[in-house]
Structure formats: C-alpha cells, structure tokens
Chain A
C-alpha cells in the first residue's frame, strides 16, 4: 500500500475528531476547554440514569363510544328543530348507536337529515319498523373512525406533553407507537406513582347540581330517580385516606372543564391549598347563569366521576372564577392544577407496561459495568502483548481507539447508552481483537511459508480483509435486525454493537496497516518480523 503519509494524516484526523467528541463524556469536568469542545455527552439510558418508561394504550373504543353518544345527543337536538322526535339515543355494547323515531310519517325527513348532516360520519346499519316507531341502528363510518382515531391520539399526545412539561421533568420523551400506543420516558424521575397518576387522570371536570330531594339510601340500593345518578363524595381524613360518601346528582351537566383557561394553586385563610379556576368568557357567562338560577342549591364539582366538593351556592357568581377545595396536600393541589390546565384526555389511557429504575440502582449498574469493562479490558490487553509481542501492543492501541470511537459516535449522534450497551462494548473488546488475530495469524502463516516480512504483511492483510468484512457484515445484519425489532435497552445494544463493529473494522484494516508499515520501515533490512 502506498501513500503512507496520507493514510497517517487521515487516521490522525479521524482519531482527533473522535477525541474531541468523546472528551466531554470521558472527562465530566471540562474546565476552560468547555467553550471549544462540543458539550454533547453520551446520553445515558433510563436503566443507567434511573427514571420511568411507560407504554400507554389509548382506549379507542371508549373514545368512539363517547363520540357516538355525543352525536346521538346532537342528532336528537337537530331533529327536534325539524319537529322530528328521536327517542333515547344509546350506544350499545357492540359500539353502535341506537335510537327510535317516534312517528313513522317522519321517516323520510329523518333519513334526509342523516344524509345531509351525517353522511360522512355515520352509516345506517338497519331500520326495524315496530308498531308505530322505527328503530334505527347506525355506526361510525370507517373513514370517520380513522379520522377520530388520529385526532384522539394527537390530542392525548398533546395533553400528556402539556402535563409533563408543567410537571417539570427535564428531557421527557413522548412519542407515538403503533397500535394506538404512546411511549413516555421520564429520565431521572423517582416518584413513578405520582407521574402515572398525573398522566392517567382523564381530568374530565363537570359541574352538576346535587339532587337533594332524592333518597340517598334508596339510591345506594339501586333506586335512583330518573334524571339523576349516584356518585360518591370524597372526604379526606386526617391520616390522608379518603372516605366515600354517597351523593345523588342531577345527570344534566351544567358546565364542563373545556371552558377552563387557567388553574392555579391558592391558599385559603387557614393556609390550606385549593385549586382556583378561571373560565373563558363563554364559561364565565354560563357559570354566572347557572349560579344565578340555582342559589341555595348545592353544586357538585365532579372530576373523573369523583365528587371533590359540593358547596352550596350562596349567590350568583360572576367574573368567571371558581374553586375546588378538598383539603388537598400541596402536591395534590399542584398536580390537580396541572391536569386541569392541560385539559382533559379525549379517551382513557391504560398503562400497558411500566419500567422504573431508581437512580441509585442506575449508578450501581454504571459502576459495575465500567468495572467489568476495565477488568476484562486489562486481561485482554495483557494477553495480547504476551501472545503477539509488538503486534499485541498495536492491537492494544487499536482497542483504545475503538473505545474512543464508540464513545465519540455515541456522543456525536446523541445515541443512548444502556446497560446492554455496556455489555455490548465489553463483548466488542473481546471481538475487536478478532480482526487483529485474523491478520496476525495470516501473517504468521505467510512467514512460515517463507515469504519476506513485507510480502507476508501484504498477503496477510489482503487475505484477511475479505474475511473480516464478511464476518463483520453478518454481525451488522444481526444488529440492524435487533434495532428493528427491539425496544429501549435492546436498541441501545444494537446501536453500540454496530458502531463497535464498524469501528473495529476501521481500526483493524486501516489503522493497523499504518502501524505495520511504520514498523516494517524502521526494521533493519533482512531481520525477521517479530510477531
């Protein structure tokens, strides 16, 4: 091979660049150089840093059913304007909307209405004529279902992102996955329970009147007056637990959380935290009307079907402000304010998978990982020198370059180092010598065949190179597949593995050759190659 000088320049450039990128990760305290060097450090995975990884499933069926229910109410209101009486729109268990037309003579009018307003959204499944009524069954069109699905996921993503941003996690990662799933990563966060509560809360806020005439005892036994429903009022106890007190509410929702513009933690005269709400103009108008019409009645504040409080309305409240009291702890009030500010989830989310690692364990994993790398590495370094002499020394230098390159690429591309990634590096230390070994063994063979050292080195490199490429490409194939099908730490392992294999190919084929050429050059002519 010719152009030794240029090859040295190229190698020094690559190694220098790698050093620049690797340095911030290796030396945490950069000192005065920090302005010159890139400050990207290797991104540690959650298993090393500690933190929470959640996979959330969006309950799409509930989102569809809720939408159908709302459409049913809309349809009824719409029909009433055209003097068509539609009875009891209801979503069945099979996810279809059922309703009845009161008078058969209006059949044409109702069909027209469906055609004109709902053709894109609803599809007529069946009409069953009864005595005088006609029973309709409609379902959502697949196009609209898809659109709804997309909108719902977008909305869920937005709401959760808002909540987490306000919660104050550094570098959260929220992304969409296939099958209506979301992945949420919260590095460094220890309190998994609080995070899950915050994310999972639907935060559907409603104001409903308390039905004081209803018999609560009867209601708990299942006899609820029409137009009312049974709910439970949460009463906090001094020890932090809650009791649930039954209460009957009027079904009609007077005002809901969609009009909220802000929610803040405030304190009453006893220094107890509560959540102060502000409504937008329309919300304020509704609230004023509702409170004005129902003075001396009790207004229940219902969040996700739990009644937080049911104060009596003393007077008409204008100005668009309300409050939720409930003897909260500071943290509860804070989290409640966040979810109310960030808005409600359009569909419930289930926690499909959760992985949380305490920061101390992560620290321990790093220490153990690095200790294994150091011990394993030293063993390999010693062995190579003992076995190959100067050649082994060259391999040792190459190994250092390898690790430098891996760290640099990981840092430069912002890839994530995980515990299996560390294992990958350890494995690579073992495997990185493979390329050197292939070359050296080949050179030894050629020397035995009586070739001159220069010839033997030439032959050794050219014959071993093809083998090295073949052998390593298959490892990269495995790594790419690991990346494609793996999640989280496994992906980290795949990335480390491929970077490591590429780095070891570069050092073995390119850099190693430079060392050999230099070695051959300064060797006395006629002496043997001590390999």
Chain B
C-alpha cells in the first residue's frame, strides 16, 4: 500500500478562510504594485529596454568592486556589474543601458580595459545587444502574447468546459470588435491590452461565463503577483520572464480546471449540498493531487534553481513563485470567486447523461 499525505476524509474549511486569503492576496498585490511604483516602473532587461549585456568569466575570484574600478574612468558608458549565478563560477554580468553603443566596439574595449587593468585573466563568454527598435517590438509582442493567451484560454474554458461554444464565439467577436474600435483610437499597446482584458472580464460577466471569469481572474492574479514579487526582489524583466509567466498561466489553469471540474461534477449529483460545502468538498477531494503535482514540480524547479546555472536562474525563480501562487490561487481565488458569483447554470443534460453512464 502506498503512502498518503492527505487522509481520505480530510475536510479543511478552505472557503471559510476566503476573507483571510483575500486580504493576503490584496496585501501581496499592493506590495508588488508599491515596488513597481517605487522603482518607477518595471525593471526591464535589455530585451525590452535595449542595451548591452556582456558576461565575463574570470580565471579566479574577483570582487565586483575590482571590476567596477577597472572599468571606471575609461571613457566607457555607465556600466553596472553584477555577479551571476550561485555556484561561485566567477562569472559577472556587465550591463550597459546606453542605447547607441556599438556592440563590437564595446566587446573590444571592455576586453582591452579588463586585460590591461586587472591581473586576472578574463574571457567574454556571451554578448547580447538589443537595439531600441527591436526592444520596443519585443515588448509589444510580449504584451500581445500575454493578452492572446488569456483570450484564447477564456474562450476555450467557456467552450470546452461549459459547452457554450456559441457564447464563447460571441465573446471573441465582441472582444475583437472592441479591440478594432480601440485600435482606431491609436492608443499605446499597453492600454490596448489593459482595455482588452477589462472587456474580456466584462463580457465573461455579462454572458455569465462564470467559470471562465473565475479562471481568468485567477490567472491575472497569478501574473500580477509574480510580476510584483519580481519587482520586490529587484529582478529583471525580460523575454524569459514572459515565457515563465505564460508557463505559469498554463500551470495555474491546470489546477483551476481540475478543481472546477470536480465542483461541476459534484454539483451534478442528485443531493448536492449547498455551493459552499460543494466547493470545500471538491477542493479537499483534489487536494492530494494538487499537493502531489505541485510538490513534484517544485522539486524539479528547485533543482533547476540550485543546479541550473546563472542563465536559467531567474526563469526558474519565476516558475517557483508562479507555481506556489498558482496552486494557492486555484483554491482561494478561483474557488472563492465561483462562490461569490455562482457557477454557470447547467444547460446540457445530454452531456451529463453520457458522463454519468
């Protein structure tokens, strides 16, 4: 017989703690938002802000201070030096945010300055330069990606999950029309995406696509909290972070759908208890799966953070935060929200009959 972490008859009152959870969520969100405002916006990496990153490996231990001193007063643009990775590989990242510098020239000059002013041998291992034009394009694309992910996911949930493809289609059409009209106003893309999200939420509300609404709110919650914690930690925001966010969206949705699936199933049984108990029961029934999957995923993500090296570190960190937040949100945010607005009324008895048989 295998092990059990969660006893079969576990019945934790998750919904009873929803107010505490809500306060916690709002607190973390506010902290993150505060950090973003305090920093004067997100700390964009060179993918979005443009600039040059040069990764240098030294033959032995050096101090960040030594490198900064060696670079100072050489007529080079403002260069920030930071240590890379956790494994003491003597690797450092030199960051130049000035936009109009030539990558080749910088490679040459930094190489020369380091070899002339430091006693330690160094090699340039990696150089990344993103010009302002490409940076702006990448930022737009990343925003679009996040937006379309949320849009398609809400359509998919409404269609596949609630069997309401027509309504989902109406929502998509409404959203695209709204976007077209907004597009005529020539707003910056960030506002466009924000408005699109609000329209999506409004449409979900209006069309009573309640499962989709709950899932999307949970998604936005997860993304905002991860971004906020990244801002709090002073981490940089680049394309890999966006990839991590999209992965988190996928992951968090996994969790939410599995819990919603169970709620829907339990509501269908003949003598279903009131919604409050049903949601609690569903969360408890899926709890051991939730903990197991999150646990194994966290296990490997931790390996990635510890052993994966500097390049992948922030990506793994975003995943770690996202998985923790995603697991929490599928219980407390998605669950509580459904309790607040009520599940979408069932309107496909044939489907049920097939499933029950």
Q: Does A358 contact B (CB under 8 A)?
A: yes
Q: Does A254 contact B (CB under 8 A)?
A: no
Q: Does A215 contact B (CB under 8 A)?
A: no
Q: Which of A75-83, A113-121, A149-157, A373-381 faces chain B?
A: A373-381
Contact A430 B247 (CB under 8 A): no
- Interface of chain A, helix or strand or loop or mixed? helix
Which of A352, A353, A383, A387 has a CB less than 8 Å from the CB of B299? A383
Contact B243 A192 (CB under 8 A): no
Residue of B nearest to A439 (CB): B289
Contact B301 A430 (CB under 8 A): yes
Docked complex: A344-374 residues within 8 A CB-CB of B: 350-358, 360-361, 364-365, 368-369, 371-372
List of A residues within 8 angstroms of B239 by Cβ: 486-487, 490
Q: Does B168 contact A (CB under 8 A)?
A: no
Docked complex: A493-514 residues within 8 A CB-CB of B: 493-494, 497
Q: Which of B62-70, B75-83, B103-111 faces chain A?
A: B103-111
How distant is the Cα of A467 from the Cα of B303 in the complex, in angstroms? 28
Residues of B whose CB lies within 8 Å of any CB of A are 1-3, 8, 55, 57, 102-104, 107-108, 123-131, 133-134, 137-138, 141-142, 144-145, 148-149, 152-153, 156-157, 160-161, 239-240, 242-243, 246-247, 249-251, 253-254, 257-258, 261, 265, 285-286, 288-289, 292-293, 295-304, 306-309, 311-312, 315-316, 319, 355
Contact A473 B160 (CB under 8 A): yes
Pairs of residues from A and B, 10 with the lowest C-beta to C-beta distance, nearest first: A430-B297, A376-B300, A485-B145, A376-B303, A478-B250, A475-B250, A368-B309, A361-B125, A430-B300, A352-B131
Q: Which of A268-276, A294-302, A420-428 faces chain B?
A: A420-428
Q: How many residues of A contact B (CB 8 A)?
A: 80
Residue of A nearest to B152 (CB): A477
List of B residues within 8 angstroms of A392 by Cβ: 2
Contact B300 A351 (CB under 8 A): no
Please name 9 pairs of A and B residues whose Cβ atoms are closer than 8 Å in the assembled complex, sorted by A.
A193-B108, A352-B130, A354-B127, A379-B300, A427-B304, A431-B293, A471-B257, A477-B149, A531-B2
Q: Does A434 contact B (CB under 8 A)?
A: yes
Residues of A whose CB lies within 8 Å of any CB of B are 47, 55, 57, 179, 192-193, 196-197, 350-358, 360-361, 364-365, 368-369, 371-372, 375-377, 379-380, 383-384, 386-389, 391-392, 419-420, 422-423, 426-427, 429-431, 433-434, 437-438, 441, 444-445, 448, 463, 466-467, 470-475, 477-479, 481-482, 484-487, 489-490, 493-494, 497, 530-531
Given contacts A57-B133, A431-B293, A473-B160, 18 further A-B contacts (CB under 8 A): A353-B128, A353-B130, A353-B134, A355-B126, A356-B126, A364-B309, A368-B309, A383-B295, A423-B319, A426-B301, A437-B289, A445-B285, A470-B257, A470-B261, A474-B250, A474-B253, A481-B246, A531-B2
Contact A372 B246 (CB under 8 A): no
Which of A358, A489, A493 has a CB less than 8 Å from the CB of B123? A358
Residue of B nearest to A494 (CB): B243
Nearest CB of chain A from residue B222's CB, rounded to whole Å: 12
Nearest CB of chain A from residue B53's CB, rounded to whole Å: 9
How distant is the Cα of A357 from the Cα of B156 in the complex, in angstroms? 39
Contact A55 B304 (CB under 8 A): no
How distant is the Cα of A355 from the Cα of B300 in the complex, in angstroms? 28
Residue of B nearest to A368 (CB): B309
How distant is the Cα of A422 from the Cα of B107 in the complex, in angstroms? 29
Given A351-B103, A419-B311, A467-B247 contact (CB < 8 Å): no
List of A residues within 8 angstroms of B156 by Cβ: 473-474, 477
